[in-house]
Structure 1
Amino acid sequence: MNWIKQNGYGFLLSFIIALISTYLGKKFPIIGGAVFAIIIGILINNTVGKPSQSLKGVTFTSKKILQWAIIVLGAGLSLKQVWKTGLSSFSVMIFTLSAAFLAAYGFGKLMGIPSKLKALIGVGTAICGGSAIAAISPIIEADETEIAYSISTIFLFNIIAVLVFPPLGHLLGFSDNAFGLWAGTAINDTSSVVAAGYAFSNAAGAYATIVKLTRTTMIIPISLIFSVLVSIKKKKEARDNGKVNFSFKKIFPWFILWFLVASLLNTLGLFSPEIVKLINALGKFMIVMALSAVGLSADFKKMLKTGVKPMILGLIVWFTVSLASLAVQYITGQV
């Protein structure tokens, strides 16, 4: 009862925005519910403002629901299918991931972009847009404005990709599998991958979706790597400040462990196809709901102060990943 009193108002507000955003996302799939959620939340927070009694609930939703959504999405993954597809797309995936992180770090440093924003844009482009940003943000302790900016940046290029990739794929004479692999490794959000893949052909759409789901599992190692890096940094800071009570357990992304457990349960066949479908729908809605809360916490003035540089970085990283995917396919003879 006490939880409802403290968090209920903000939770309900995020839920209502998520319902509206999900509806709009279905009407305009090229944009998607997550983008509508961020935009509506930002507009409310930076015009009329959110009610003071919603503060705790909005914070709870933006942090806890975001993590729970990742776990739920894990239950929709079959590790058998991931392994099968991963073998054929592994080389492309490793090169695109490496290209994304190197471009984000290198160009981000040259452009003087804050490290957290740089990391979020790199992760979002490398793995799977909003879901990856949701997984990494609590580990690196990113604030809502940084999360909102990075997600907005990633989704902008998703929209461009859905429009540009299919005609370009036909122009380049891609096979269904080649285009599916390109879309699955170079477009960020799952809905955008599906839209671009099926716009090319049904076979390309099916393959792109599987490649994308395989790419999603990269959340696990990347989250662990970031945890170790943050741990090293915090240990050094604690030592410099004369403290010795730093604990790795405090920053370990336990929700990623549960993501893996949920995936294993699905792989063992404990969930029927109908249940998996419901789980995927619930996970996506929870992401939209959490991003509604992120938008409700984002300060548009801070976003404007950050300038267009992160947007340019997002373009550079996305372009680098797209070219890297094509290059590896040509080198390995998959095109």
Structure 2
Amino acid sequence: MPALLEKATPLVAPAPATRFFRFFHMTHRLGRGRVTVGQGVFGALLLACLTPWVSPPIALALGLGLAQTIGNPFAAQTKALTPRLLQFSVIGLGFGMNAHAAVQAGREGILLAVASIGGTLVLGFFVGRWLGLGRRVVHLISCGTAICGGSAIAAIGPVLGAKDDDMSVSLGTVFVLNALALFAFPPIGHALHLSQPQFGLWCAIAIHDTSSVVGAAAAYGNQALEVATTVKLARALWIIPVAIGTALVFKQKGAKITIPYFILGFIAAMLFNTYAPAYVPAARALGSVMVGLAKVGLTLTLFCIGAGLSARVVRAVGVRPYVLGVVLWVVVATASLYAILHLG
């Protein structure tokens, strides 16, 4: 009987000619198909993310470790899957939230949202000009910081007429800082003794992408998660007026504006969880199942995001976009934290 695993030739010629790299990119026979060791490692880590022992921050760390060592063997697939998985996860989280509490959280966060979005765009313009960066890159990084990270950049980019290089630099900058925020914010929140509502509001304003906002808030507590998700999604709706303003300022006629329709799914799920249990007793059990699946989906989303941040992506951004991103991030995080602690 032939062995199940049979050593063969590399699937692709690896760039770094090291024995370590070649080992993970050699193809092997598995049954009737062929896989690489790297693909097997990816699969094992993905399965680990389905278990309750891997939290969203750990999943991100596993993805980053994979990307920085052997690389992501399914880069194209994870890039296509990540946005849909995040949208499903956000909608699923709505089944665990109460509409009345969400309205209250949104009302409390709206003034901070308006002030921080406007202030970030203005500050980004002047800092970007000082750094000598192109207008499109500056606007994309500023929008990603101000609204909702990669989603805002993906929506504003076509309206702006951004080139592929502009998009890559902006997304790379925001994703790297976004990953750092997921690890940094919970310890800071605990050190400052922030309440769960305070931390949730701070996350929603100061962390770029919805995935890391939800991941950081979930690590802090259920109430923080509820506040953070609601405020962040309300903030994401600002993509529409900002996109319209972008088309006018940059004189892009006939530009197509992408509307984040999945937010409607989140609202529908939240209304279902608030009102359906009074009429359908099984609704609460269904909601619990959906929330559980959503949290698993979020963990997988962060693993895929981490797996996409290869060393090449990090280096390709350059220093100046990171400087812009860090300045905006620090100012937004510090100013919003001060407002939450002293003006709330």
Q: Which structure shows the higher helix fraction?
A: 1
1:41 aligns with 2:67: yes
| Residues 1-335 of structure 1 aligned to structure 2 (within 5 Å) | 16=43, 19=46, 22=49, 31-45=57-71, 50=73, 58-63=75-80, 65-77=82-94, 78=97, 80=99, 81-114=101-134, 118-119=138-139, 121-127=141-147, 132-134=149-151, 136-137=153-154, 139-140=156-157, 143=167, 146-167=170-191, 169-170=192-193, 178=198, 181-182=201-202, 185-187=205-207, 189=212, 190-195=214-219, 198=220, 205-218=221-234, 220-228=236-244, 236=252, 248=255, 251-253=256-258, 256-269=260-273, 272-288=286-302, 290-291=304-305, 294-295=308-309, 300-301=311-312, 303-329=314-340, 332=343, 334=344
Question: 2:246 and 2:44 mapped to 1: Cα distance?
Answer: 33
The change in CA–CA distance for 1:285 and 1:155 in structure 2 (over 3 A counts) is: closer
For the pair shown, the structure with the greater C-alpha radius of gyration is 2
Question: 1:21 and 1:110 mapped to 2: Cα distance?
Answer: 45
Measure how far apart 1:19 and its partner are. Answer: 0.9
Question: 2:52 and 2:125 mapped to 1: Cα distance?
Answer: 32
State the AA in 1 paired with 2:325.
G
- Structure 1 gap ranges (5+): 1-8, 199-204, 240-245
SS of corresponding position for 2:93: coil
Query: In the alignment, is the contact (CA less than 8 A) between 1:25 and 1:36 conserved in 2?
Result: no
SS of corresponding position for 1:152: helix
State the AA in 2 paired with 1:73.
V
Give me the CA root mean square deviation.
4.2
1:61-98 CA deviation, whole Å, 9 max, x = no partner? Answer: 41354145324413422471321211233323333333
1:6: which partner in 2? none
Q: Which moved more, 1:60-69 or 1:273-282?
A: 60-69
1:206-259 CA deviation, whole Å, 9 max, x = no partner? Answer: 4432221122213542332454356558974xx7xxxxxx5x5xx4425x2133
Question: 2:226 and 2:319 mapped to 1: Cα distance?
Answer: 34
Query: In the alignment, is the contact (CA less than 8 A) between 2:105 and 2:227 conserved in 1?
Result: yes
Query: In the alignment, is the contact (CA less than 8 A) between 2:215 and 2:298 conserved in 1?
Result: no
Query: In the alignment, is the contact (CA less than 8 A) between 2:205 and 2:232 conserved in 1?
Result: no
The change in CA–CA distance for 1:306 and 1:208 in structure 2 (over 3 A counts) is: same
Measure how far apart 1:327 and its partner are. Answer: 3.9
Query: In the alignment, is the contact (CA less than 8 A) between 2:86 and 2:301 conserved in 1?
Result: yes
Query: In the alignment, is the contact (CA less than 8 A) between 1:86 and 1:214 conserved in 2?
Result: yes
Query: In the alignment, is the contact (CA less than 8 A) between 1:116 and 1:146 conserved in 2?
Result: no
Query: In the alignment, is the contact (CA less than 8 A) between 2:203 and 2:217 conserved in 1?
Result: yes
Measure how far apart 1:331 and its partner are. Answer: 5.9
Q: TM-score, normalised by structure 2?
A: 0.63
Structure with more contact order per residue of length (Cα contacts < 8 Å, sep ≥ 6): 1
Q: Which structure shows the higher strand fraction?
A: 2
Question: 1:24 and 1:233 mapped to 2: Cα distance?
Answer: 48
Question: 1:13 and 1:225 mapped to 2: Cα distance?
Answer: 45
The change in CA–CA distance for 1:315 and 1:216 in structure 2 (over 3 A counts) is: same
Q: TM-score, normalised by structure 1?
A: 0.65
Measure how far apart 1:314 and its partner are. Answer: 3.0
Measure how far apart 1:284 and its partner are. Answer: 0.9
Query: In the alignment, is the contact (CA less than 8 A) between 1:93 and 1:185 conserved in 2?
Result: yes
Question: 1:83 and 1:176 mapped to 2: Cα distance?
Answer: 17
Query: In the alignment, is the contact (CA less than 8 A) between 2:147 and 2:236 conserved in 1?
Result: no
Query: In the alignment, is the contact (CA less than 8 A) between 2:204 and 2:232 conserved in 1?
Result: no
